[in-house]
C-alpha cells in the first residue's frame, strides 16, 4: 500500500469522508488513491480560499472535519484567510498539504516555500510526514487534533515521496478528547455573583449555540434579571420560530456600549471578552463599563451546555417557555429597503434552512429581523476576513443534505471567492444566494468617518465597485448557476420563492 492510499484509508477509518481539493503535482498520488479506495467525496474547488471556506461551512454543520487538499505553501497561502475565519469559529478543519519530495527539496525548486511556517501561524497542530511508515499514524493524530477543543485547524504536510513510496501502515483512529467540564466552584461562584442582583450581562458564545443552550441561558437570565446576549461573531446559532430568540452584541461601538451600560458584572460563557473589532479615536476598545468585573463561566473550549445547565440548576431557575411566534407576513410595500427585504426573508425562509450571513452593511438587521422566521441555523463570518460566504454556503450544503442553504451575501465580499459558484453548480447544491448589489464597499465609507479620515476623490474611488458595474447574473450563469436580477422588492419575493424550489443553486442579484 502506498502512502497516499494509507492516508485515505486512515482518514476514512477516522470518520473523515469529505475533501475540498485544489490539487497539483505533489497531490497526484492522493487523487489517484481516491479511485482505488472508495468512500471519499472529493469536491473540486477552483481557488484554495474556496476549499478552506467550504471546509469551514462543512465543519460547522457536520461537527467533524473535512479535509482540504492543497498544493504546497502557496496553495495553503491562498487559503489562509478562510482558515483564519474557521479558527475563530472553532471549526474542525484538517489541511492535507502536498509538498516537495524530501530528496528534491534541497534543490530549492520553484514552488518550495516555508510551508510549515505558514501553517503554524494558524494551525493548532502541524506535522510534516517524515516517511511512508508513519503517514497512517500521522493522519490519525491529525484528525484527533482537528477534533480537539470542539474544533481546531490541523495541518498535515505530506512530501510527495511519503505518498508514492510503498510500505504504508493504516493508522488506528484515535478518540476525540471530550470538552473540559467547568469546575464546581466556578459554578457556585458565578451563581453567587448573579444572586447579588447587581446588574449583569451574560455573553454567550461557543460552537454551536444550540436552542437548548439558549433555553438554559434564558432560565438563568429570567431568574436573576441578568441581560443575555450572544457574542458579536458566532459560528452557528440554532434559532427561529418556536425557539428562544437571542440578540447578538451589535457591531457598532456605541450600540454595543449601550447594551453593556450599567453592567457591574460581565459573565463570559464559551466566548472571549467583548472587544471592538477595530480601534477608533476616542472610543473604547474593551466593550464594557470601566467599573464592571469580568467573570468566566466557561472558556470557549469547555463544555458550555453542561456549564449552563448546572448553573441554572444551582440557581434553581425554572424553565422559561419559548415565545409563541406568529408567522411573519409579507410586507405590502414594494421598495427595496432593509426593512422590507428583512421582512420578506423572515416570511419566506424555507423550513430548516442553513443561513450564511456575509451580508455586511445591508444585512445589519437581518439577524434580529429573522428571529421569528422558520427554524434555521445561522452561520456568520467569524474572523472579519471577507470572502467566506459563498465558500461556506458550498461546504454547508454538502454537510446538510435535504436542507436549503440561503446565502445572504454582500457583493464586495462575494468577489473574493466567486469561484465557489462553479463548485455549487458542479455539485448541484441547493443554495439560494441573495447577492446584495450596492456596487460599493459601503461599510468602508462609514469607517472613513469613524476613524476621522478626510476622504477625497481618490479615497472614495477605492470604495466604488461601479466602474465598471459587475454583472452578477452573467458571472453566475457563466459558471453554470441559474440567476436573475430583482429590481423591485416584489420581484425579489417572487424570485426567492422560485429559487428555493430549484434543485440546484440559484443566484438573485438584488439591486440595493
Ligand X SMILES: Cc1ncc(C[n+]2csc(CCOP(=O)(O)OP(=O)(O)O)c2C)c(N)n1
Residues in contact with ligand X, shown as a per-residue x/- string from 51 to 90 under the rule CB under 6 A? ------------------------------x---------
DSSP H helix total and E strand total for the chain? 21, 17
Return the number of other C-beta atoms located less than 10 Å from residue 276's C-beta. 17
Work out the angle at residue 43's Cα, subtended by the Cα atoms of residues 434 and 37, and round it to the nearest 5 degrees: 155
Return the number of other C-beta atoms located less than 10 Å from residue 114's C-beta. 9
Closest residue (Cβ) to ligand X? 412
For ligand X, the closer of residues 53 and 171 by Cβ is 53
Q: Which of 412, 489, 493, 499 binds ligand X (CB under 6 A)?
A: 412
Return the residues of window 318-347 that contact ligand X according to CB under 6 A: none
- Beta carbons within 8 Å of 38's beta carbon, 6+ residues apart: none
For ligand X, the closer of residues 10 and 388 by Cβ is 388
What is the distance, to the nearest Å, from the Cα of residue 310 to the centroid of all Cα atoms in its chain? Answer: 28
For ligand X, the closer of residues 30 and 362 by Cβ is 362
Residue count, binding to ligand X (CB under 6 A)? 18
Q: Is 37 left (phi over 0), alpha (psi -120 to 50) or beta?
A: beta
Residues in contact with ligand X, shown as a per-residue x/- string from 384 to 403 under the rule CB under 6 A? xxxx----------------
Gap between the Cα atoms of 318 and 227, Å rounded = 17
472 part of the interface to ligand X, by CB under 6 A: no
Output the furthest CA–CA distance in the chain (Å, rounded). 70
Preceding amide of 465 cis, omega within 30: no
For ligand X, the closer of residues 20 and 362 by Cβ is 362
Per CB under 6 A, the segment of 13-21, 41-49, 212-220, 404-412 that binds ligand X is 404-412
List beta partners, residue 354.
377, 405
For ligand X, the closer of residues 52 and 144 by Cβ is 52
Gap between the Cα atoms of 165 and 409, Å rounded = 45
127 part of the interface to ligand X, by CB under 6 A: no
Query: Taking the complex as a whole, how short is the minimal distance between the CB of residue 251 and ligand X, in angstroms?
Result: 11
Gap between the Cα atoms of 85 and 425, Å rounded = 24
410 part of the interface to ligand X, by CB under 6 A: yes
362 part of the interface to ligand X, by CB under 6 A: yes
For ligand X, the closer of residues 218 and 442 by Cβ is 442
What does the DSSP 8-state code read for residue 166? B
What does the DSSP 8-state code read for residue 240? S
Helix (H/G/I), strand (E/B), else coil: 486: strand
Query: Taking the complex as a whole, how short is the minimal distance between the CB of residue 368 and ligand X, in angstroms?
Result: 17
For ligand X, the closer of residues 217 and 385 by Cβ is 385
Return the residues of window 425-444 that contact ligand X according to CB under 6 A: 438, 440-444
233 part of the interface to ligand X, by CB under 6 A: no
408 part of the interface to ligand X, by CB under 6 A: no
Query: Taking the complex as a whole, how short is the minimal distance between the CB of residue 350 and ligand X, in angstroms?
Result: 24
Gap between the Cα atoms of 217 and 246, Å rounded = 10
Q: Between β-strands 237-239 and 376-380, what pairing exists: parallel, antiparallel or unpaired?
A: antiparallel
Query: Taking the complex as a whole, how short is the minimal distance between the CB of residue 489 and ligand X, in angstroms?
Result: 18
- Which positions lie near ligand X, rule CB under 6 A? 81, 360-362, 384-387, 410-413, 438, 440-444
Amino acid at each position: 500500500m502506498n502512502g497516499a492510499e494509507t492516508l485515505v484509508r486512515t482518514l476514512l477509518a477516522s470518520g473523515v469522508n469529505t475533501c475540498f481539493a485544489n490539487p497539483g503535482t505533489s497531490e497526484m498520488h492522493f487523487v489517484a488513491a481516491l479511485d482505488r479506495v472508495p468512500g471519499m467525496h472529493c469536491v473540486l474547488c477552483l481557488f484554495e480560499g474556496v476549499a478552506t471556506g467550504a471546509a469551514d461551512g462543512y465543519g460547522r454543520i457536520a461537527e467533524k472535519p473535512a479535509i482540504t487538499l492543497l498544493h504546497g505553501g502557496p496553495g495553503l497561502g491562498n487559503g489562509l484567510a478562510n482558515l483564519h475565519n474557521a479558527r475563530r469559529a472553532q471549526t474542525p478543519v484538517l489541511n492535507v498539504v502536498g509538498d516537495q519530495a524530501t530528496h528534491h527539496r534541497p534543490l530549492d525548486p520553484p514552488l518550495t516555500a516555508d510551508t510549515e511556517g505558514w501553517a503554524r501561524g494558524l494551525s493548532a497542530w502541524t506535522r510534516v510526514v517524515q516517511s511512508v511508515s508513519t503517514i497512517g499514524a500521522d493522519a490519525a493524530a491529525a484528525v484527533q487534533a482537528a477534533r480537539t477543543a470542539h474544533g481546531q485547524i490541523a495541518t498535515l504536510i505530506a512530501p510527495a515521496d511519503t505518498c508514492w513510496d510503498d510500505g504504508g501502515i493504516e493508522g488506528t483512529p484515535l478518540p476525540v478528547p471530550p470538552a473540559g467540564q467547568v469546575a464546581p466552584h466556578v459554578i457556585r461562584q458565578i451563581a453567587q455573583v448573579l444572586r447579588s442582583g447587581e446588574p449583569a450581562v451574560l455573553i454567550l458564545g461557543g460552537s454551536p449555540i444550540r436552542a437548548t443552550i439558549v433555553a438554559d441561558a434564558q432560565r438563568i437570565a429570567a431568574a436573576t434579571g441578568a441581560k443575555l446576549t450572544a457574542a458579536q461573531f458566532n459560528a452557528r446559532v440554532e434559532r427561529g420560530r418556536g425557539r428562544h430568540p437571542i440578540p447578538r452584541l451589535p457591531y457598532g461601538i456605541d450600540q454595543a456600549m449601550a447594551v453593556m451600560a450599567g453592567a457591574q458584572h460581565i459573565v463570559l460563557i464559551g466566548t472571549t471578552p467583548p472587544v471592538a473589532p477595530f480601534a477608533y479615536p476616542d472610543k473604547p476598545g474593551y466593550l464594557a463599563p470601566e467599573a464592571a468585573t469580568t467573570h468566566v463561566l466557561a472558556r470557549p473550549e469547555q463544555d458550555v451546555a453542561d456549564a449552563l445547565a448546572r448553573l441554572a440548576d444551582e440557581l434553581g431557575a425554572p424553565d422559561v417557555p419559548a415565545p409563541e411566534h406568529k408567522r411573519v407576513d409579507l410586507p405590502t410595500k414594494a421598495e427595496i429597503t432593509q426593512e422590507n427585504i428583512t421582512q420578506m426573508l423572515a416570511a419566506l425562509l424555507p423550513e430548516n434552512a442553513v443561513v450564511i450571513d456575509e451580508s455586511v452593511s445591508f444585512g445589519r438587521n437581518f439577524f434580529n429581523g429573522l428571529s421569528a422566521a422558520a427554524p434555521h441555523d445561522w452561520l456568520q463570518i467569524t474572523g472579519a476576513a471577507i470572502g467566506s460566504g459563498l465558500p461556506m454556503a458550498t461546504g454547508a450544503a454538502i454537510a446538510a443534505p435535504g436542507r436549503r442553504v440561503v446565502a445572504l451575501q454582500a457583493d464586495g465580499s462575494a468577489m473574493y471567492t466567486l469561484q465557489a459558484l462553479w463548485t455549487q453548480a458542479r455539485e448541484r447544491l441547493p443554495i439560494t444566494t441573495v447577492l446584495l448589489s450596492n456596487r460599493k464597499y459601503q461599510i468602508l465609507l462609514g469607517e472613513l468617518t469613524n476613524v476621522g479620515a478626510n476622504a477625497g476623490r481618490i479615497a472614495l474611488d477605492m470604495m466604488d465597485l461601479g466602474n465598471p458595474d459587475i454583472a452578477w447574473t452573467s458571472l453566475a450563469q457563466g459558471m453554470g448557476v441559474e440567476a436573475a436580477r430583482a429590481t423591485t422588492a416584489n420581484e425579489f419575493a417572487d424570485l426567492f420563492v422560485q429559487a428555493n424550489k430549484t434543485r440546484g443553486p440559484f443566484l438573485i442579484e438584488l439591486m440595493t
